[in-house]
Structure 1
Amino acid sequence: MNRLQDKVALITGGTSGIGLETARQFIAEGARVAITGSSAKSVEAARAELGENALIIQADAGDVAGQKAVAAAIREHFGRLDVLFVNAGIAQFAPLEQWSEDDFDRSIAINLKGPYFLIQALSPLFANPASIVLNTSINAHIGAPNSSVYALTKGALLTLAKTLSGELKDRGIRVNAISPGPIETPLYGKLSSDPEQVKAFTAAITDRIPIGRFGKSSEVAKAVVFFASDESAFTVGSELIIDGGMSNL
């Protein structure tokens, strides 16, 4: 299909997991794609896979000044932007008493502050119509222990989906959110250096998912394609939960 034919799309955190799979699907749907990644290694791996099909930008999602550089690269290479998928983020979990100010600030910067100022920097480049998709999380809904800061950042993104929709609608810019549950991505492997702990952690999560498995990046990417396409032209300020029923328990 060609649901995104000739659309220009930027995917943050697009070098692995949900972001990389979304880039693949966007390209397959006819979009011209740019992705960002924070590490040189991940950027080079994505470049090796996507080749000339994508503009690949190394950028720190939490660096406010760096968001202007990303916007400048989009302006220079494409001249406009039709779709923004705000996907870059970190998931750090810890009890209340173990949070340091530095860790708190890092989560806020990467998951919320950087994305906010990226949208601001890109604002002059958005076409009319255009679509912004924010990657949030079911953690904003379920009150999971040890997720206070992560859920805080994702809940703030959900608020942005509504408030920015109201603010930007007259420019033809729609803002929507996806809220994935547990998804098979490299993220979970980074939660601990002990493979047995990771295995036990993922097993415990799987027990809480009614359909009995983690989701796939491809399943989330399909939802992003819908929000990015003209098929969702009447969908504004909404949230799609993709969690295998986990938040319904």
Structure 2
Amino acid sequence: MDDLSGKIALVTGGGSGIGLASAKMFADQGAQVIITGRRKDVVDQALEHIGRGAIGIIGDVADVSHHETIAHELMRSFGGLDIYMANAGVNTINHSSQVSEAEYEAQFAVNTRGVFFGVQKLAPVMRNGGSVIITGSIASDRYMEGHAVYAGSKAAILAFARCWAVELKARRIRVNVISPGPVDTPILDKLGLPPEARALLEKNVSEAIPLGRLGTPDELGNAALFLASDASSFITGINLRVDGGMSLL
């Protein structure tokens, strides 16, 4: 049921973490995978990991012309798109009183603007029966310290997804959101914490998760694969929380 043979799949932010794990799983199931990212070295390394003829495109999802270019290339090279995973995202942890305009604009530019215009420009080249998967966050509907702006940027895309699930229903394009809880990805490394502080952070976070640990990129990739495949053919407009039960508390 997870077979994606003959499908064309695009994953933004596919160079690491959840995006990379998802892209690898799509490719392993037979899809022609295209990933995007801002850094060529990261994208090139990811392509080696994915293998199976994966293609990389360098660009910034906050730039509308980037999506227009991708749409043109997809039509020229493949005649369309079947799976679109809008995964690229950024997060700056800061108390609301300390958030700068630059931090605010950067998060909404990628997390919200990038998703909206990505779907706007790519939906027209998607084939009927396609699947749109958006990476959200459990921060959108529960309090997480220092995440106010990030939470707001992710809450907006939940509203987008509900609208798109209805707007695209005539073409049988399904639109769903995956909301990860804490996941052990390279984002943790970017916090710049010394090893002992990171270990303490992971311990404290794990204690707030009913399953007692952080998630893995592959676990999120499995959820994305489910929503990309015919195994979820009667599912649209949902917010799938992949969080070890954290949103229950």
TM bucket normalised to smaller: over 0.9
**Matches of 1:44 and 1:29, distance apart in 2:** 21
2:29 is the alignment partner of 1:29: yes
RMSD: 1.5
Moved more, 70-79 or 221-230: 70-79
Render the CA deviation track for 1:39-71: whole Å, top value 9, x for unaligned: 122012123333452111111122222221222
Gaps of 5+ in 2: none
2:115 is the alignment partner of 1:130: no
2:111 is the alignment partner of 1:84: no
Contact 2:2 2:225 in 1 (8 A): no
**Matches of 1:205 and 1:247, distance apart in 2:** 13
| SS of the residue 2:128 aligns to | strand
Letter in 1 for 2:121: A
**Matches of 1:66 and 1:199, distance apart in 2:** 38
Contact 1:8 1:81 in 2 (8 A): yes
- Where do residues 1-249 of structure 1 align in structure 2 (5 Å cutoff)? 3-51=3-51, 53-249=53-249
Contact 1:59 1:70 in 2 (8 A): no
TM-score (normalised: structure 1):
0.95
Contact 2:14 2:36 in 1 (8 A): yes
| Deviation for aligned residue 1:2 | 5.4
| Deviation for aligned residue 1:193 | 5.0
Letter in 1 for 2:151: A
**Matches of 1:70 and 1:162, distance apart in 2:** 24
| Deviation for aligned residue 1:196 | 3.8
TM-score (normalised: structure 2):
0.95
| SS of the residue 2:141 aligns to | helix
**Matches of 1:191 and 1:19, distance apart in 2:** 19
Letter in 1 for 2:136: T
Moved more, 36-45 or 68-77: 68-77
Contact 1:8 1:32 in 2 (8 A): yes
Letter in 2 for 1:8: I
Render the CA deviation track for 1:176-221: whole Å, top value 9, x for unaligned: 1111101111011112354443333222211211111111111111
Letter in 1 for 2:5: Q
